[in-house]
Amino acid sequence: MKFAIQSRNDELSNKLMDEAIEYLTDFGLIYDEVKPEIVLSIGGDGTLLHAFHKYQHRLKETAFVGIHTGHLGFYADWIPSEIEKLVISISRKEFEVIEYPLLEVTINYQHMDQSATYLALNESTVKSPEVTLVMDVELNNSHFERFRGDGLCMSTPSGSTAYNKALGGAIIHPSLPAMQLTEMASINNRVFRTVGAPLVLPAHHRCVLTPVKGPDFMVTVDHLQLLHKDVKSIQYRVSDEKVRFARFRTFPFWKRVSDSFIDSDE
Ligand code: NAP
């Protein structure tokens, strides 16, 4: 089996990476950064986001596993002292694969029907670079609201514990193929109105944002942020693609939520 490692690049993560490469190679696995079948991410959830984007062109052939060298993560739930155990399980292929939904983001530009498509593991956000964001929100080809405020965030179920949670969104179990739209500081008064609550949309629904003001927008896809010029519309849907995680033991999602946000035994 071929493997690759993504490190957060701090001292501890790099030391663990060297150890893991040595152990896995001793067990007959081949280090291959181009076509790995399993990718170990050593660092935090942010490190796994980087690994995901590095290998997003071959998700069907890649399974991810995360080791955290800081606090417990949602994508990084192994601790450094378990590395030997993990290596043995990988070499014996003693794992099952679980899949989480992803978000597809398509940005359509005003010129010559050009568009760009991205995949998000956590979320995509839209903000206006200078002024209040004003966007028409369309759900399944039907006008829903005119949003005015700081921005909008569309998250995946596994991303619901990240930025989405800070915006007051619900935590969604990653077995549900859905996406969630949350508001950032919407303007609500006698003149302007938004729904003022997070919306959870199923896989067969589409959400299209059409600019009313501006044509340039800051759009994030996970940790990546770009200024998009001359935007005609931004479409969100649950992707047909999924991210695959190697699961070696049960660590229920709600236990991870409770350990991360309420009380941890670590
Ligand atoms: P960062 O600003 O360095 O770190 C953001 C934090 O979010 C880190 O503590 C990271 O965990 C954590 N995180 C990432 N994915 C998560 C998930 N699915 N569930 C719970 N926590 C998660 O940025 P980054 O490391 O490049 O990560 C980019 C992410 O930051 C974005 O996708 C967005 O979700 C998040 N973000 C959050 C806020 C907010 O909460 N107000 C604002 C902007 C961006 P680790 O420490 O384990 O890496």
pLDDT tens sequence for the chain (266 residues)? 999 999 999 999 999 999 999 999 999 999 999 999 999 999 999 999 999 999 999 999 999 999 999 998 999 989 999 998 999 999 888 899 999 999 999 999 998 789 999 999 999 999 999 889 999 999 999 999 999 999 999 999 999 999 999 999 999 999 999 999 999 999 999 989 999 999 999 999 999 999 999 899 999 999 999 999 999 999 999 999 999 999 998 899 999 999 999 986 65
- Residue to probe by mutation, ligand 1, list 71, 152, 163, 167, most atoms within 8 Å of CB: 163
- Residue to probe by mutation, ligand 1, list 7, 13, 42, 45, most atoms within 8 Å of CB: 45
| Distance (Å, whole) CA 186 – CA 122 | 22
Q: Which of 10, 18, 45, 113 is catalytic?
A: 45
44 C-beta closer than 6 A to ligand 1? yes
**pLDDT of res. 265:** 61
Closest C-alpha to ligand 1, atom 26: 223
CA of 153 to the centre of ligand 1 (A): 14
Burial of residue 195 (number of CB atoms within 10 Å: 0-12, 13-18, 19+): middle
CA of 162 to the centre of ligand 1 (A): 6
Is 45 a catalytic site residue? Answer: yes
125 C-beta closer than 6 A to ligand 1? no
| Distance (Å, whole) CA 66 – CA 56 | 16
Closest to 234 in 3D by CA, of 221, 224, 252 = 221
CA of 29 to the centre of ligand 1 (A): 32
Q: Which pair of tokens denotes residue 186?
A: 């919407």
158 C-beta closer than 6 A to ligand 1? yes
Q: Is 236 helix (H, G, I), strand (E, B) or coil?
A: strand
CA atoms within 13 A on the CB side of 218: 15
CA atoms within 13 A on the CB side of 85: 8
- Residue to probe by mutation, ligand 1, list 223, 225, 256, 257, most atoms within 8 Å of CB: 223
Closest C-alpha to ligand 1, atom 16: 162
